[in-house]
Amino acid sequence: MNSSAKAKRVRCDRDTLWVELADGRTLGVPLAWFPRLLRASPAQRKAVRISNRGLHWDALDEDISIAGLLAGRGDQSKPRPAAA
């Protein structure tokens, strides 16, 4: 897997997270893979920060690695325990 792939641009439509990579590839993955993004407003989805390691939405507490997207992995967070 190429861990040096870097995101250049990110956008979301109604159902898909689109990531343009610096090498010219474009990845499209279902928003359903990332429940926090799926439930977010369009404005919240636009508030993405691109870093060398991946994509970050501070207000949504969402971090997505480019390596994970290339490997076909969705949300890797563990479900929070139900409140008692």
All structural domains of the chain:
7-70 (3.30.2020.40)
Question: What is the mean pLDDT of the segment spanning 42-71?
Answer: 95
Task: Say if residue 58's pLDDT is above 50.
Answer: yes
The percent of residues in the chain predicted with pLDDT above 70, rounded, is 87
Tokens found for residue 33: 């893979």
Q: Token pair of 46, please?
A: 């636009």
- pLDDT of the residue at 80: 47
Mean pLDDT of 52-70: 95
Half-sphere exposure of 4 (CA within 13 A, CB side): 1
* 73 vs 4, more confident: 73
